[in-house]
Amino acid sequence: MIVREVDWDDAGAVALRAAQRVEIAERYGTDDSEPGPAPTADDITAFYVAYSDDGTPVGCGGLRRIDESHGEIKRMFVAPSARGSGVSTAVLNRLERFGLESGWSRLVLETGTAQPDAIRFYTREGFTPIDRYGYYADSDDSLCFEKTLVASDPATDTLCESCE
């Protein structure tokens, strides 16, 4: 697997985000469950796609810069056929590395009450619950999390070997 930064309109990125929106619509029973503005090429600071060994796009995630010290994870998704293979961890590690390289001290995110798999994943990866913020403050279906970014020791960091 390899994780690469891509343009927002990259074909693999577009396909993965479309699949993510279909899955979210099925879980929440509506195709308009996002409390805030949907991310766009104009407000996403970085977007990454994970590719399987045969070059198939299998996961993605992006970052929206909030201010000088933190960003928000957007459109994190792994194709069902690739779940459980480490794709989500590889993409998240690349997002965290980008945040550190950008001088950010923390990442925040919003996920939903109908996404227990995402809640388990983010909790396992060190994210802690926070009060709902911004556009999510009044959304009963929203759960928000944060993680303080800490530089890892490159000598022991084996999770981003495939990151570019």
**The CA-based dihedral angle spanning residues 139, 20, 121, 12, taken in that order and rounded to the nearest 10 degrees:** -140
Residues of the chain with pLDDT under 70: 153-164
pLDDT tens by residue, 10-49? 999 999 999 999 999 998 888 777 788 889 999 999 999 9
The alpha carbon of 105 is separated from its chain's Cα centroid by a whole number of angstroms, namely: 17
CA–CA distance from 102 to each of 34, 46, 106, 154 (Å)?
A: 27, 11, 11, 17
- pLDDT value, residue 141: 92
User: Tokens at residue 31, please?
Assistant: 């195709």
Q: How far apart are CA 134 and CA 100, in angstroms?
A: 23
- pLDDT value, residue 35: 82
Question: What is the pTM assigned to this prediction?
Answer: 0.90
| Single-letter amino acid, residue 42 | D
Give the rounded percent of residues in the chain with a pLDDT score beyond 90. 84
Domain 2-148, what fold? Aminopeptidase (3.40.630)
- pLDDT value, residue 34: 79
- pLDDT value, residue 154: 53
Sheet bearing 106-112, strands edge to edge: 2-5, 46-51, 57-67, 70-78, 106-112, 142-148, 128-130
Give the rounded percent of residues in the chain with a pLDDT score beyond 70. 92
- pLDDT value, residue 136: 94
